[in-house]
Chains A and B, each alone.
Chain A
Amino acid sequence: MLRLTGASPRTPGHLISAADLTRDDAVLILDTAEEMARVADRPIKKLPTLRGRTVVNLFFEDSTRTRISFEAAAKRLSADVINFSAKGSSVSKGESLKDTALTLEAMGADAVVIRHGSSGAPYRLANSGWIDGAVINAGDGTHEHPTQALLDAFTMRRRLVGADAGIGRDLEGRRITIVGDILHSRVARSNVLLLHTLGAEVTLVAPPTLLPIGVEKWPCEVSYDLDQVLPKSDAVMMLRVQRERMNAAFFPTEREYSRRYGLDGERMARMPDNSIVMHPGPMNRGMEITAEVADSDRCTAVEQVANGVSTRMAVLYLLLGGNEPAVTHSRASSATEESK
């Protein structure tokens, strides 16, 4: 069974962390996504593959972009989609994660896409035995966001290696720079882990206050000087400065941050030819990225949205498309037992 077990036998049949993916798993997902992307060019952008399967989007945090991306992916594969957002639901009345999970299980969810403010909530859901379905982490706290890392890797492979030339290949030797709020970024963590698995060389650039404790143990380089790193970057990923998390003083002023760590046209001109600028969105124009850069051909922000749907289709297909990791109808079976 193809179950994306990867390096972690703790979560077979789920996608919790980018670290769980082996190089071959990741390349398989990217190759599958490449085929899924071609469906978008057809007159009928739909496949019957997951007909009769139910995917629940369980969102405890607001995230319209990620939710509609998963929703579009599931619908293109003909799955039924149930959107469950915490606001205005039983969760706001005090329901626990467990009771919510049992409710979804009773509704026959084959996969649960979960976004949660607490790091580790998807892992808990996958390993609790509360549900039989596949669990896909759509962002948990400051921990991980593996499908974002996959779509970023997919975008890089398409741009830096080529859509057709990239099939079966990883990102060996590509130099990727991630700039911004690493401390609060689950995107950065997942990207570092996945890109390392795919053979890329990752450099993090941020003010010291926005780097997490223990970053020296991550499989990447760290720099405080953007200008020094830019000429050696095949792709630069600008992270959003999350104003909602900037309650403590991580940097003196927004202007100073923008001047030292923002990407403008002048800085972009010093990047190698054919290098790309990435942004997971939503962008703060004028803060971490200027409008000139955001609107240039090098900026892949819009492509990343389209690639997100293809990548999530690939993940859903690989988790749900075969004989079940999902509906075994016996709670104590395979997935949960093996994990104990």
Chain B
Amino acid sequence: MDTHSSDAARPVLEAPDIARALTRIAHEIVERAKGADDVVLLGIPTRGVFLARRLGDKLEEITGGKIPVGSLDITMYRDDLRMRPARALARTDIPADGVDGRLVVLVDDVLFSGRTIRAALDALGDIGRPRAVQLAILVDRGHRELPIRADYVGKNLPTSLRETVKVQLAEEDGRDTVLLGLKKPDPGEPAPAGER
């Protein structure tokens, strides 16, 4: 995140909190899936992918089995493509055995409007037909614009629309933290609906 807003941003989750949240989510997945035999984790780039990999490691520790982990880029399924410049694509990497008949758990860092997850569901529909789709999220900050909810939540974080939530992960940002900041005054720019 840029310097301007990180001045005001304060951490609401630190590395141990994030690790604990992921451990709990992993146990919840095993509990609800009765063993996680057919679970496939799909992270949404960028940070959802790192979270999915960490969750996968924890699930393997718990179950002793191999958990397929992949990534699902939703860029070309976004509903706000025409509101912004064309974006660079991220990697979609579906595990070799596919998703047909499996329990797919989508993993992302922040759940906000729900539009990203809507796009992910569309993208998933073009890749296969899972037995069921669930959603694991590190931070749920509210303000849904679509009828979408998470099955596994690391932390519920009530926010106002003037605030920003930024997840930083060691793989990408060098450290694990969740920052709550204030949005920069940005005249002329309408609130970006699809962004968090």
A residues near B, CB below 8 A? 1-3, 28, 31-32, 35-36, 38, 42-44, 46-49, 77, 317-324
Identity of the chain A residue whose Cβ is nearest the Cβ of B87 in the assembled complex: A322
- The listed residue (B73, B83, B127) touching A323 by CB distance below 8 A is B83
- B77 pairs with A48, CB closer than 8 A: yes
User: How far is A318 from B87 in the complex, measured between Cα atoms in Å?
Assistant: 8
Given contacts A46-B126, A77-B76, 17 further A-B contacts (CB under 8 A): A28-B88, A32-B89, A35-B73, A43-B126, A43-B127, A43-B128, A44-B126, A47-B76, A49-B77, A317-B86, A318-B86, A319-B86, A321-B87, A322-B81, A322-B82, A323-B82, A323-B84
15 contacts between A and B (CB under 8 A): A2-B86, A31-B89, A35-B91, A43-B127, A44-B127, A48-B76, A48-B77, A49-B77, A317-B76, A317-B89, A320-B86, A321-B86, A321-B87, A322-B82, A323-B85
Identity of the chain B residue whose Cβ is nearest the Cβ of A318 in the assembled complex: B86
Q: Does B92 interact with chain A (Cβ within 8 Å)?
A: yes
- A42 pairs with B76, CB closer than 8 A: no
* A12, chain B: closest CB distance, angstroms: 12
- B126 pairs with A2, CB closer than 8 A: no
* A1, chain B: closest CB distance, angstroms: 4
> Given that A43-B127, A317-B76, A321-B76 are known contacts, is A32 also in contact with B81, CB under 8 Å in the complex?
no
* A168, chain B: closest CB distance, angstroms: 10
User: How far is A3 from B84 in the complex, measured between Cα atoms in Å?
Assistant: 12
CB neighbours (8 Å) of B92 from chain A are: 35, 38
Identity of the chain B residue whose Cβ is nearest the Cβ of A77 in the assembled complex: B76
Q: Does B122 interact with chain A (Cβ within 8 Å)?
A: yes
* A81, chain B: closest CB distance, angstroms: 18
* B185, chain A: closest CB distance, angstroms: 23
User: How far is A255 from B83 in the complex, measured between Cα atoms in Å?
Assistant: 58
Total residues of chain B contacting the partner, CB 8 A: 19
* A47, chain B: closest CB distance, angstroms: 5
User: How far is A2 from B122 in the complex, measured between Cα atoms in Å?
Assistant: 25
CB neighbours (8 Å) of B83 from chain A are: 323
CB neighbours (8 Å) of A320 from chain B are: 86
User: How far is A38 from B89 in the complex, measured between Cα atoms in Å?
Assistant: 12
Identity of the chain B residue whose Cβ is nearest the Cβ of A317 in the assembled complex: B86
* B77, chain A: closest CB distance, angstroms: 6
* A282, chain B: closest CB distance, angstroms: 32
The 7 A-B residue pairs with the shortest CB-CB distance in the complex, in nearest-first order: A322-B86, A321-B86, A49-B76, A322-B85, A1-B85, A35-B89, A44-B126
User: How far is A43 from B99 in the complex, measured between Cα atoms in Å?
Assistant: 12
CB neighbours (8 Å) of B76 from chain A are: 47-49, 77, 317, 321
User: How far is A318 from B91 in the complex, measured between Cα atoms in Å?
Assistant: 16
CB neighbours (8 Å) of B90 from chain A are: 35
User: How far is A48 from B90 in the complex, measured between Cα atoms in Å?
Assistant: 16
* A136, chain B: closest CB distance, angstroms: 14
User: How far is A231 from B122 in the complex, measured between Cα atoms in Å?
Assistant: 50
Identity of the chain B residue whose Cβ is nearest the Cβ of A28 in the assembled complex: B88
